[in-house]
Amino acid sequence: MEYSRLVEVYEQLNKTTKRLEKTHIISEFLKDVNADDMEQVMLLLEGRVFPGYDSREIGVASRLMLKSLNVATGISADRIEKEWKKQGDLGLVAELIVKTKKQSTLHSTKLTIKKIFENLRKLAELEGQGTVDRKTQLIAELLTSAKPVESKYIVKTILGEMRIGVGEGSMRDAITWAFFGHKIGVKYTKEGNDIEVEDRDIYNKYLDAVQHAYDVTNEFALVAKAAKSKGLQGLENIGMKVGIPIQVMLALKADTIEEAFETVGKPAAIEFKYDGFRIQGHKDEKGNIKLFTRRLEDVTNQFPDVVEFVKKNVRGKSFIIDSEAVGYSKKTGKYLPFQSISQRIKRKYDIDKMSSDFPVELNVFDIINHDGKSMLNEPFEKRRALLEKIINPEKKKIVLSKSKIVSEKKDVEKFFREAVNAGNEGLMFKSLNSPYKPGARVGYMIKFKHMMETLDLAIVGAEWGQGKRSKWLSSYVIACIDENGNFLEVGRASTGLKEKEEEGLSFVEMTRLLKPLTISEKGKEVKVKPKIVIEVGYDEIQKSPTYESGFALRFPRVLQIRDDKGPHEASTLDYVKKLYNSQKKT
C-alpha cells in the first residue's frame, strides 16, 4: 500500500474533533487494507512502529531531524531552525521546506507503507560509531522521496508527535465497524454525527470480543489482522502469552465506605493500598522471568532483586502475577512513598547499588495465568486462594498483600487505620466473585483514600524562571486528557519542588527531564512533548475560560513524578468534572 493513502487518512482525522467521525474514517480505511499490511498500518495509525510493551525506541531528537531535513532538501540548517522557531512544529516545517526545495532534488519514487516502516525500525537498531550519519541518511532517504504532506507525517512519527486525536476507544470501535459492521448493522450519519445499530446486544458482543483481544495482546495491530483474516473466531482464539504484558485491571474510586460496599457488594475483600508501582511478573516454561510496569514497560533489568524474589518464592512452571513493588526504609523497615524508589524504573547503570540503596518489597495481590491456564474468568476468591498456595512469603522480599474479608463499616475503619499507620495510602475493596477484567474500570475493584483526591496530569509546557531560577524550567503547564486523547490545560504549577537536588524532587531534575522533550521555544515559554506525568495537589477546582479544559486548579502544587504512568493515563476531563461537582456538595 502506498504511504500517501495513509497520509490522506491522517489529514481527514486532523480535520475533525468528533470521535464518531474519526472512528468512521478509520473503519472505512481499514476495509481497504490487506492482511499483510494490517499490522504496519495499525501501528502507524497509533504513531509508532513498535508495540507499547516493546522497549525499543526510534531514538531521534529534534536536532538530528534538523540535520536530516538539511541533507534531504539542501536548505541550510539555520533557515530550517528559523522556520522551526516560527512554526513551533518540525512536521509543519518539513512540509513547508519540501515544497520549496529545488526540483533537481526530487525523486519520483513512491513511498510505500513497507518502506516507511522498514526505515523507521532500522533507526532503532543502529548503534556505535557513525550512528548519527546513518540515521540521518535513513531519514533523508524518505524525505527526499516524500511529497510535502507526507514529509510532515514522517517527521511527526519519528519524533513521536503524532496527535490525531485517536484513542483506544476509537481504534476498538473502528475495527468492529470495519470487519463486523455488515453483521451488526452499523450505519454512521455524518450530518448528525451519530450511529444506528440494528441489534445493540450483537453489537456489544463484537465490541467486547475486540476489546478482550486487545486487553490480552496490547496490540491493535494483531487484533485487526485477526479480525480481518479470521473474523470473530480469530479474535476468540487470541490468548494471552506469557512474556507479553496484558492490560492490568484498573480500580474505580469511592469517597465513602458505604459507596465502596455498594459497588463491590458484601462481604468484600479489603487490602492495603500500597504507595508503590505496579509490577506484572511473568515466568515462562523455560524459567525466564520478565517484569512489566502498568505502562507495559519492560523493567526486568532494573529489578534483578525482584526477579530473584519471583524465581525463588513463586511455584509454577509458568505464570503471570499482579503485584505492587513498595519501597521501604533500610533503617526502620517502614514503607516509603512511591517517589523514593521511582528513580529505579529508568535506571540503566549501577543497578546493584540502586537495588541496595532503594530496596523494595513485592506485594502480590492477584494472578492472571498459572501453568498455561488463564485465570481471567475465575472469581477473585479462587485467584486469591491459588496465590496463598503457590507463594512462599519472605518479609521485605515478596509477600501476599495484607487482606481481610469484611462486611461491617467498623471493621473497614479499623483496617484502614492499620494501613495508614503502616505508611500506605488507604484500602482497596474487591468483589469476591468478580473476574479479572484487564484494562477496565468496571467496579470489581475500588480504591478508598482518606485524603483529598489528587490529579495525575501531563506536563505540556514550561517557562524558564527568573533571577536565581533563570537556568531552570520552574513553572509547568499541566493538562488532563479528553476522550479523544487530546491534552487540555488546567493550569500552571510552580510550587512543590526543591532548589537543591539532595532535598527531593528539584527544579534541576525537572529541567533535565523536560529539555530533551522540547518541541519549540518562544521567549521564556517552552512547549514540550507530553511525556512526563506528575501528581498534583490543589486547594480547589474552579471553572475557567482561560484553559481549554474549562477548568483551573487553584494553588496547584507538584507532589511527585508518576514514572509508572504514561501521558495517556493522565486524569481525564470527565474525572476533573466529577471532582468539581463533588466540591459543590461539601
What residues are annotated to the active site? 273
- Is residue 51 reached through a cis peptide bond, with omega within 30 degrees of 0 on the bond before it? no
Backbone dihedral angles phi then psi of residue 315, each to the nearest 5 degrees = -90, 140
Backbone dihedral angles phi then psi of residue 560, each to the nearest 5 degrees = -170, 165
Residue 257 sits at the vertex; the CA angle it makes with 252 and 258, to the nearest 5 degrees, is 100
One-character DSSP codes across 451-506:
SPP-EEEEEEEEEE-SGGGTTSEEEEEEEEE-TTS-EEEEEEE-BS-BSSGGGSSB
Separation of alpha carbons 19 and 486, rounded Å: 11
Beta-strand relationship, 445-449 and 426-431: antiparallel
Grid cell locating 483: 476522550
CA neighbor of 460 nearest in space, from 522, 505, 526:
526
271 pairs with which residues across the strands?
A: 403, 428
CA neighbor of 113 nearest in space, from 210, 206, 45, 189:
45
CA neighbor of 320 nearest in space, from 415, 243, 410:
243
Phi-psi region of 167 (alpha: psi -120 to 50; beta: other; left: phi over 0): beta
Backbone dihedral angles phi then psi of residue 54, each to the nearest 5 degrees = -80, 125
CA distances from 138 to 60, 69, 84, 142, 390 (A): 11, 11, 21, 7, 50
Those residues whose C-beta lies under 8 Å from the C-beta of residue 269, and which sit 6 or more positions away, are 380, 381, 384, 403, 404, 405, 429, 430, 431, 432
Beta-strand relationship, 445-449 and 252-253: parallel
CA distances from 287 to 6, 282, 297 (A): 42, 9, 20
User: Is-contact 24 31, C-beta < 8 A?
Assistant: no
Secondary structure, 3-state, 113-134: HHHHHHHHHHHHHCCCCCHHHH
Those residues whose C-beta lies under 8 Å from the C-beta of residue 397, and which sit 6 or more positions away, are 305, 309, 313, 361, 362
CA neighbor of 397 nearest in space, from 303, 294, 478:
303
**Diameter of the chain by CA atoms?**
80
Those residues whose C-beta lies under 8 Å from the C-beta of residue 467, and which sit 6 or more positions away, are none
Compute the Cα dihedral for 486, 489, 490, 496 and give only its sign.
Answer: positive
Go through the chain and tell me how many residues it has. 586
Residue type at position 376: L
E strands in 371-469: 373-374, 398-400, 403-406, 426-431, 445-449, 455-464
Residue type at position 570: A
